[in-house]
Chains A and B, each alone.
Chain A
């Protein structure tokens, strides 16, 4: 069964500092990986996705993520955090076949940005 682990429940960074949010996945085949952001009381917004090809993917709002098959990781990064980035971030893995349409989410990482 597929699973996603986000080891950090809560991260605090200063505005302007760099950010890395960790994500590890377990999946038997080629994973389809996503990062979403959720602001309080809101739905999820897709930041970026990886299906195949270049292992470094660029997303919206200046985010990027790198797929590392050997480490089963898909970490999210941003070189300089803005106060508006404070939110909860979810890593997710999708699937093909009979499980298509059924994404599995990590427990989320809450990002706090210090002024």
Chain B
């Protein structure tokens, strides 16, 4: 079974631009969570989607948004990029609506650099 895939793997943008990252979960997984990883803040939860509905949201500004499609693929969008948005964005999928009820499987991440 294929793992979680994230595209693109690397991205360079400039301040003020917007970006869309994509995540394809493991086949059959309906929950997709997004995390931001930075050296200063560590791993921080962004949001979780299950069956096209946002179930949980972390403490990030409204510039960060996401959605999930009927095939469980998910996208996250960051508008008006800031230098501080440079990070590794990780996607994780799970079989249930709660990652804690079933283990989360992580993708390799998208490395976003904002110049």
Which A residues are closer than 8 A to B by beta carbons? 32, 34, 36, 41-46, 49, 90, 92, 94-108
Chain A residues with CB under 8 Å of B56's CB are 98-102
Task: Name 20 A/B residue pairs within 8 A (Cβ), A-sorted.
Answer: A41-B108, A42-B108, A42-B109, A43-B108, A44-B90, A46-B103, A94-B100, A94-B101, A97-B98, A100-B96, A100-B99, A100-B101, A101-B50, A101-B97, A101-B98, A101-B100, A103-B33, A103-B99, A105-B35, A107-B42
Interface class of chain B by DSSP: strand
Q: Mark B76-114, 1 if CB is under 8 A from A, else 0.
A: 000000000000001010101111110111111101000
> B residues 22-80 with Cβ under 8 Å of A?
31, 33, 35, 42-43, 45, 48, 50, 55-56, 58
A-B contact count (CB 8 A): 74
Interface class of chain A by DSSP: mixed
Chain B residues with CB under 8 Å of A44's CB are 90, 92, 106
Task: Give CA–CA (A30, B108) in the complex, Å.
Answer: 30
- Check B104 against A103 for contact (C-beta < 8 Å): yes
CB distance from B58 to the nearest CB of A (A): 7
Task: Give CA–CA (A32, B43) in the complex, Å.
Answer: 17
